Amino acid sequence: MKIAIGCDHAGVDLKQILLASILKDHDVIDMGTNSKESVDYPDIAKLVAHAVTSGEAERGILICGTGIGMAMAAGKVKGIRAARCSEPYSSEMSRRHNDANVLCFGARVVGSGMAEKIVEVWLNTPFEGGRHARRVGKIE
Ligand code: RB5
């Protein structure tokens, strides 16, 4: 699966941990940022969201301090279903019921072990379709 990943300055360290662990065997496009210098999270969210809607990537992952700003920004892009998840149950359900195509979380909220589990579950859980497809269609 091709995954676009991005973060702001708050998420740089956690992104590097994930790239070296749970994401190391995936085809990942890193859309920045890669320094601790302050950047605006909507700029990164836009890059990742457009990578997903254009088909350059199948899914996107966004990390900021809380995950909130990234989810708000990515969710403004038509076709993006961004889910902010701080534990694996929500990340699983965001796939099963909501067909989330962008996962967001906060580097100041979750530790690296929890983030790895959130990502692992999210990447490996299919959309259930059926009645959920009707509901997702209403979002679109
Ligand atoms: C940056 O300080 C912080 O506001 C950002 O990472 C994010 O948490 C916003 O939602």
Question: Six-digit token pair at 140?
Answer: 């679109």
Q: What pLDDT, on the 0 to 100 scale, is given for residue 130?
A: 97
Q: H/E/C letters for each residue in 3-68?
A: EEEEECHHHHHHHHHHHHCCCCCCEEEECCCCCCCCCCHHHHHHHHHHHHHCCCCCEEEEEECCCH
**Tens of pLDDT, residues 78-101:** 999 999 999 999 999 999 999 999
**85 classed as catalytic:** no
Q: What pLDDT, on the 0 to 100 scale, is given for residue 72?
A: 98
83 Cα: distance to centroid of ligand 1 (angstroms): 16
Answer yes or no: CATH 3.50.7.10 is held by domain 2-139: no
Measured in degrees and rounded to the nearest 5, phi and psi for residue 22 equal -65, -25
19 Cα: distance to centroid of ligand 1 (angstroms): 21
Given the CA of residue 8, which atom of ligand 1 is nearest to it?
6
What value does the CA radius of gyration of the chain take, rounded to a whole number of Å? 14
**Tens of pLDDT, residues 42-91:** 999 999 999 999 999 999 999 999 999 999 999 999 999 999 999 999 99
Q: What pLDDT, on the 0 to 100 scale, is given for residue 8?
A: 98
